[in-house]
A and B are shown apart, each in its own frame.
Chain A
Amino acid sequence: DAMVIQNPRYQVTQFGKPVTLSCSQTLNHNVMYWYQQKSSQAPKLLFHYYDKDFNNEADTPDNFQSRRPNTSFCFLDIRSPGLGDAAMYLCATSIGDRSDEQFFGPGTRLTVL
């Protein structure tokens, strides 16, 4: 059974055209994370939500925003995608922000033309 779902799996957008990536979970976890993984690199944390409390990583560009309208859903908005934003975007969840196991979704691969 799917636990962390990401849609779409592949997204193509044009340079500067806003795009939204979606993540949903059936685990009822408190925390949802967004990571960016560029080709042949490690995942890099962008931000996370603990319930409705948003926490941003210091070096996450302002171009990246997030929304969490309810427990199950979290969105990543890229306001003006650049060529350097092409990457795999991974959503993950955990029960709490203690040292808990994180469950990753399958990722959305974003291509910027």
Chain B
Amino acid sequence: GENVEQHPSTLSVQEGDSAVIKCTYSDSASNYFPWYKQELGKRPQLIIDIRSNVGEKKDQRIAVTLNKTAKHFSLHITETQPEDSAVYFCAAFKRGGADGLTFGKGTHLIIQP
């Protein structure tokens, strides 16, 4: 089955600086990689996603890169703001058994004012 590793588990950055979160996956057949932001007690919210036929995708301050050969993908947040503070999960869509998302363990992003 799919296994997704996510690092770091906690990331503290100064407001205005950039944040980078990295994930690796194990199943080369995985073809969809979303990133979710989750605030305490709330549902995961999709912030950006990338499919395996694309190497990079950007949406305003958020970008994701995918290296299929190395089986890793990264989330980049520029010009961080206090409202970016949350837990971020990467995920990979897997097939087999019950098709669905396998999540990384999450990164607690803290934006220091």
On A, residues with C-beta under 8 Å from B are 33, 35, 41-48, 50, 55-58, 60, 90, 97, 99-102, 104-107
Contact = CB atoms under 8 A, between A and B. Distances in A.
Interface in B25-65: 31-32, 34, 42-46, 49, 51-52
B102 interface: yes
Interface of B: 1, 31-32, 34, 42-46, 49, 51-52, 89, 93, 97-106
A106 B98 contact: no
B101 A102 contact: yes
Contacts of B34: 101-102
12 contacts: A35-B101, A42-B104, A43-B44, A47-B98, A48-B98, A48-B100, A58-B97, A97-B99, A99-B52, A101-B46, A101-B49, A102-B46
Nearest to A91: B43
Q: Across chains A and B, which 5 residue pairs bring their CB atoms closest together, nearest first? A: A99-B32, A42-B103, A45-B100, A57-B98, A55-B98
Given A101-B46, A101-B49, A106-B43, A48 B99 contact: yes
Contact of B102 (A45, A48, A105): A45
A33 B94 CA distance: 13
Contact of A42 (B43, B52, B89, B97): B89
Nearest to A103: B46
Contact of B43 (A33, A47, A107): A107
A58 B100 CA distance: 12
Given A101-B46, A104-B43, A43 B89 contact: yes
A42 B105 contact: yes
